[in-house]
Amino acid sequence: MFAFSADGSSVETVAGQSAAGVPGPVQRAFAECGGFQCGYCTPGMIMLTTALLREHPEPDDTQVREWISSNICRCTGYQMIIDSVHRAAALLKEESA
């Protein structure tokens, strides 16, 4: 997407995932579950996870794999990322209760 295409839109970045320097639930889940390796794909995975969990608060593995398939990570076999997504879903559920 070109930047001009976002004119008038709200743009959310990974920096917006934390409040006052405190990691948000998706960031915490990735840290707890080791859902990052070199860190290159992590911001994209965090943003994909955020969008996925907004649409599907309790995704199954198939949904998670489908959503993250657009963000290639050469460092991992993806299982820790999938675990991180499920942990993020649990943290978000706890916070909303």
40 HSE (CA, 13 A, CB side): 7
36 burial (CB, 10 Å; 0-12 / 13-18 / 19+) is: buried
Maximum distance among all Cα pairs of the chain, rounded to whole angstroms:
39
pLDDT mean over 76-83 = 90
pTM of the model: 0.88
Residue 28 in this model has a pLDDT that exceeds 80 = yes
> What's the pLDDT at 53?
98
In this structure, CATH architecture of domain 23-96:
Orthogonal Bundle (1.10)
Domain boundaries, the chain: 23-96
Return the residue matching tokens 């409040």: 19
Residue 91 in this model has a pLDDT that exceeds 90 = yes
pLDDT mean over 41-66 = 96
